[in-house]
Amino acid sequence: MEKSRIVEELKPFFEPKGVAIIGATDKKGKVGNVIFENFKVNKEKGIFKGNIYPVNPKLTEIEGVKCYPSIKDVPEDADLAVISIPAKFVPATMKDIAEKGIKSVIIITGGFGELGEEGKRMEQEILQIARENGIRIVGPNCVGVYVPETGVDTVFLPETKMDRPETGAIAFVTQSGAFAAAMLDWAAMANIGIGKMVSYGNKLDVDDADLMEYFMYDDQIRVITFYIEGVKDGRKFIETARKVTPHKPIIALKSGRTEYGAKAASSHTGSLAGADTIYDAVFKQTGILRAEDFEHMFDMAKAFAKCKLPKGDRIGIITDGGGAGVMASDAVAKFGLKMAELSEETLKYMKEKFPPHAVAGNPTDVVGDTDAQRYKIAIEAFVNDPNVDVIVVITLFQVPLLDEMELIDILAEYAKKSDKPIIAVAMGGKKTEYYAKILEDKGVPVYLTPERGVRAAAALVQYVKYLEKLKE
């Protein structure tokens, strides 16, 4: 597929000129009202630049915005339709959308293939209309699309109950709408930027492969993450993944790994989960990084979003706590990485600069009476050492002589100017969380434990090895 085609087909989902909300209502808390409010508020903030066209034959206006009796009556600039009406009315509405000439549709409504044969019949009717008229569909049975940069927000959980994350370099795609909502809420709290989120539910039309290809051409997106219950078109998925992974990392969290999970996936979105060993093999063949759980997926994604790629698998550890250094060293072995053998020049440099009780080595322990400048000496030495590929900096912000902001500025400076990835680990409570957020805002990923930090580094290394293998 040519770039122009996939970008042209899916662009209205993320940057519509005008959105028609079919099922918009003035009844607070209803799905159609929350979606309308999302767009209205974002337009008032100047984020959403398009026009909003609520569609409801029973209303003439909603909160001062003109309401249209039918999709056929909305102005011509509407290029995205969002449907939140009962399932039985959706096929007829799709015919009206086709007649109107709108080519992008998000069907929020559930009650289709996941409920049985009648639902599957309606899905096929909708799909046939779409195919005959060149319409692309996200859904049904989903929460749709969230793009903080353009103000597209079809997530029908109000902001009073669910926070939205800021924009970032991560694309997140999920079958589960509940997972999408929970993830966005969590990402907002964890200060993880999401560039684009797509919840595609039963993925009647737009699927994993379409989205990963679109994101390959999206300059904002640096890493693509998927929550997958099952893949319908395996060949298309594999071919597209092979096309995308040489350009951008893809991370997948695949559920339905067990017999019980597979059964639950089938009743959730009608997915055929399939043998988990097959997915494992496909992921390895295509270079997709498999996440073990939700936390692992975003730990990896955060590293790709903020770090440069390493040249190898040798890890250098700097810490102000000996125990944390040991934990990180264990993690290096656990995740198949190597402890870097520091050069004689590096060791000599640090010993000359450090007080006698600090430990120059790997891990380098700047110990509990450290200040920010001692960290700077160690980071400078590791950056200049050709035997170090990834630098993991563990800091206990709690130590008394450490100027937190000075260290944050040092880490951000080296993360920017060094060609090596720098990963930070900060363990602690609310005060640590405060400084970790500042550090992440300055572009350095921060993890709560040494193991999570090293595991994120392992993902960078795994992807680099995959890229190197492609060159062989």
CB distance 417 to 391 below 8 Å: no
Q: Which of 12-26, 105-119, 138-152, 370-384 has the lowest mean pLDDT?
A: 105-119
Residues 207 and 335 in one domain: no
Q: Which of 137-141, 159-163, 432-436 has the lowest mean pLDDT?
A: 159-163
Mean pLDDT over the full length of the chain:
93
Cα-to-chain-centroid distance, residue 132: 33
Whole-angstrom distance, CA of residue 53 vs CA of residue 65: 8
pLDDT score, position 400:
93
Specify the 3-state DSSP secondary structure of 230. coil
Statement: residue 232 has pLDDT above 60: yes
pLDDT score, position 2:
52
CB distance 132 to 124 below 8 Å: no
Q: What is the pLDDT of residues 443-456, one digit of tens each?
A: 999 999 999 999 99
Structure tokens at 236: 């298309």
Is the peptide bond between 450 and the residue preceding it cis, with omega within 30 degrees of 0? no
* pTM (two decimals): 0.92
Residues 247 and 141 in one domain: yes
Average pLDDT over every residue of 128-133: 97
Rounded to the nearest 10°, the torsion over CA 279, 284, 287, 289 is 70
Residues 361 and 230 in one domain: no
Whole-angstrom distance, CA of residue 20 vs CA of residue 18: 7
Q: What is the pLDDT of residues 278-328, one digit of tens each?
A: 888 999 999 999 999 989 999 999 999 999 999 999 999 999 999 999 999
Q: What is the pLDDT of residues 314-367, one digit of tens each?
A: 999 999 999 999 999 999 999 999 999 999 999 999 999 999 999 999 999 999
Residues 248 and 289 in one domain: yes
Last-in-domain residue among 285, 304, 323: 304
- Residue type for position 410: I
Last-in-domain residue among 283, 304, 325: 304
CB distance 256 to 271 below 8 Å: yes
Is the torsion defined by CA of 275, 281, 284, 288 positive or negative?
negative
Residues 214 and 103 in one domain: yes
Residues 23 and 171 in one domain: yes
DSSP state of 165: P
Statement: residue 94 has pLDDT above 80: yes
Residues 9 and 158 in one domain: yes
Can you give the residue range of the structural domain that contains 382?
A: 308-470
Only one residue has tokens 């250094």, namely 325
Percentages of the chain per state (helix, strand, coil), in multiples of 5: 45, 15, 35
Residues 272 and 151 in one domain: yes
Statement: residue 177 has pLDDT above 70: yes
pLDDT score, position 139:
93
pLDDT score, position 267:
56
Residues 179 and 290 in one domain: yes
Pairing relationship of beta strands 250-254 and 144-147 according to DSSP bridges: unpaired
- Residue type for position 269: T
Average pLDDT over every residue of 257-276: 59
Q: What is the pLDDT of residues 61-90, one digit of tens each?
A: 999 999 999 999 999 999 999 999 999 999
CATH of the domain at 317: 3.40.50.261
pLDDT score, position 230:
81
| Of residues 11 and 190, more confidently modeled | 11
Band (3; pLDDT cuts 50, 70, 90): low
Residues 292 and 323 in one domain: no
pLDDT score, position 136:
98
The number of folded domains in the chain is: 2
Residues 453 and 350 in one domain: yes
Q: What is the pLDDT of residues 390-426, one digit of tens each?
A: 999 999 999 999 999 999 999 999 999 999 999 999 9
Residues 294 and 321 in one domain: no
Statement: residue 182 has pLDDT above 70: yes
Last-in-domain residue among 304, 319, 341: 304
Statement: residue 15 has pLDDT above 70: yes
- Residue type for position 252: A
